[in-house]
Amino acid sequence: MGNYAGRGKGSLVSSPRLLALAMLDRWKETDLDWDRHLDACSSKDRALVRQLVSGTLRMQGKIDYYLGLFLRQRLSALPQRVRNILRMAVFQLKFCDRIPDYAIVYDSVEFTKNIYQGSYGPLVNGVLRNLIRKWDNVTLPSAEIDSLSFLTVNYSHPEWLVKRYLDRFGFHFTQSLLEANNIQAPLVLRLEEACGKKTSEGSVLRRKIEEGGLEVREGRFLPEALVVTGAGLPRASLLPGYSEGLFYVQDEAAMLVAHLAAPVPGSLIFDFCAAPGGKSTHLARLAGKDSLVVASDLNRKRLEKLNENIQRLGLNNLRLLVCDARLPATLGAGLVLCDVPCTGTGVLRRKPELRWRIKQKDLAGLTELQREILEAGADACAPGGTLVYSTCSLEPEENWGIVSSFLAGRDDFHLDPADKYLKNELVSGEGCLATFPNVHGIDGAFAARLVRKPAA
């Protein structure tokens, strides 16, 4: 996680704040793998690291606005670690109540001294103390004068994305969407024995989780969804029932895709871009043991993780295949799922770093890839079969734009309206699954169910 071994106080090396700083330095290089980095932490330290990392990333835009008012040079001119020390300190000063200001400043200066052998310590000390003294004099952008700047700064989202939403949704919907993105998403479990049916099988598991001091409630739309919240939330693998394969961690929005797909028992199913495997395992469970699900992905390591979950869940009807979704190695499936790579703007509440990683220019490359995968999926679908296209994006270019363009060029497919399979409130005007975190209280998702004409 970087060379952070300080020469001063030995506690700095094992400090959860130092681990949080290291993770902030690395999020651009790799996804935030919480479990791998926090294995050695106590439950208390684990919660603190999560709060510091996700909170600092979530509010980075607003934090940088504050820092820009108190720095003599541009924030980007400072070394990355100094920027992140300042950002994490401002997050604690502004958005955390339990830590005294003097302790935050002291820790931040000590971290800087240990990492840079004395350099930048006075700068960090001066900026933070000046900010504390003059905090009440800071003026934020006004919604009445400049709604774009107001939303961009106050809700800490990239300006290009906020402008898109303002143009598309208007002020009030955009404000509620950005606000929802800044609320930490809950842990959601898919109860395996409850998939697709009303049952009390989850009652024992629910009681065991509640006995651990956590809060549990049923999902909003599906019987197999169980929402877990509460302070000191452990990693999912430490919850009761994990090793026995009683649940899979998956947001309710992602579960809805498998219900829209409505797999037929005993059928052959292909899942393109399958890793990490939530939808593959859900389809395998819903379709039953007489079906066969072939889950393919280009990333072998991610398929290995999927294989671990297959074994844990006891699914004997799921096979793995390493291949490029644009060049499928299999044909003639009764159901094909194309859960394509996308910007992920529907899961910003769950992955706060994504808002700073994605760029507007990424859309063009992604939509071209999405079209290629959907066309390949269509060719792999048997006559009379079903093709499901899905994303975790809110962007129209990646969603209905792809589907409408596909349908315009393929007269052998038609849209099967989603309201035949899902509640009306989850269905867009075009007849597709479309969820928003501020409207439905779950992740943002899109999916279209397309049916191929039977053979002549």
User: Do 350 and 206 have their domain in common?
Assistant: no
Judge whether 96 counts as a catalytic residue: no
Q: Would you state the structure tokens that stand for residue 74, as one six-digit string?
A: 């541009």
Q: Does the pLDDT at position 111 exceed 60?
A: yes
Question: Is residue 342 a contact partner of residue 391, using CB atoms and an 8 Å limit?
Answer: yes
Sequence length of the chain is 456
Active-site position among 273, 338, 392, 432: 392
State how many domains the chain has: 4
Task: Find the CATH number of the domain harbouring 437.
Answer: 3.40.50.150
Q: Does the pLDDT at position 114 exceed 50?
A: yes
In a domain, 2, yes or no: no
Cα end-to-end span (Å), the chain: 60
Question: For residue 200, what pLDDT is reported?
Answer: 55
Question: For residue 66, what pLDDT is reported?
Answer: 95
In a domain, 396, yes or no: yes
Last residue of a domain, one of 231, 249, 267: 249
In a domain, 282, yes or no: yes
User: Do 243 and 288 have their domain in common?
Assistant: no
Q: For residues 400, 406, 409 and 415, what is the CA-based torsion angle, rounded to 10 degrees? A: -70
Look up the pTM and report it: 0.92
In a domain, 66, yes or no: yes
In a domain, 399, yes or no: yes
User: Do 323 and 208 have their domain in common?
Assistant: no
User: Do 231 and 261 have their domain in common?
Assistant: no
Report which residue type is found at 352.
Answer: P
Q: Would you state the structure tokens that stand for residue 307, as one six-digit string?
A: 């294989």
pLDDT in tens, 189-198: 999 987 766 5
In whole numbers, what is the pLDDT of the chain averaged over residues? Answer: 90
Among the residue ranges 3-17, 132-146, 425-439, the one predicted with the least confidence is 3-17
In a domain, 159, yes or no: yes
Which pLDDT band holds residue 313 (cuts at 50, 70, 90)?
A: very high
Question: For residue 36, what pLDDT is reported?
Answer: 66
In a domain, 99, yes or no: yes
Nearest to 258 by CA among 271, 275, 248: 271
Report which residue type is found at 170.
Answer: G
User: Do 18 and 121 have their domain in common?
Assistant: yes
3-state secondary structure of 210: helix
User: Do 174 and 89 have their domain in common?
Assistant: no
Which pLDDT band holds residue 238 (cuts at 50, 70, 90)?
A: confident
In what helix (H) or strand (E) does residue 433 lie, and over which residues does it extend?
A: strand 433-435
User: Do 117 and 165 have their domain in common?
Assistant: no
Question: For residue 33, what pLDDT is reported?
Answer: 63
Stretch 128-150: mean pLDDT, rounded? 94
Residue 350 and residue 259: Cα distance in Å, rounded? Answer: 22
Spatial strand order of the sheet with 187-191 comes to: 215-218, 225-229, 187-191, 247-249
Which pLDDT band holds residue 1 (cuts at 50, 70, 90)?
A: very low
Last residue of a domain, one of 199, 234, 249: 249
User: Do 166 and 50 have their domain in common?
Assistant: no
Its domain, for residue 23, covers 11-137
In a domain, 45, yes or no: yes
Q: Would you state the structure tokens that stand for residue 257, as one six-digit string?
A: 């895709």
Residue 128 and residue 171: Cα distance in Å, rounded? Answer: 33
Say what angle helices 171-181 and 159-169 make with each other, to 10 degrees: 130
User: Do 197 and 176 have their domain in common?
Assistant: no
pLDDT in tens, 402-445: 999 999 999 999 999 999 999 999 999 999 999 999 999 999 99
User: Do 346 and 223 have their domain in common?
Assistant: no
- Cα–Cα separations (whole angstroms), residue 281 to 243, 304, 320, 340, 450: 16, 14, 11, 17, 21
Which pLDDT band holds residue 30 (cuts at 50, 70, 90)?
A: low
pLDDT in tens, 314-356: 999 999 999 999 998 888 999 999 999 999 999 999 999 999 9
Stretch 200-215: mean pLDDT, rounded? 79
User: Do 260 and 384 have their domain in common?
Assistant: yes
Question: For residue 201, what pLDDT is reported?
Answer: 52
Which residues fall within 8 angstroms of residue 91, CB to CB, at 6 or more apart?
52, 55, 56, 59, 63
Task: Find the CATH number of the domain harbouring 212.
Answer: 3.30.70.1170
Task: Find the CATH number of the domain harbouring 57.
Answer: 1.10.940.10
Report which residue type is found at 29.
Answer: E
User: Do 256 and 228 have their domain in common?
Assistant: no
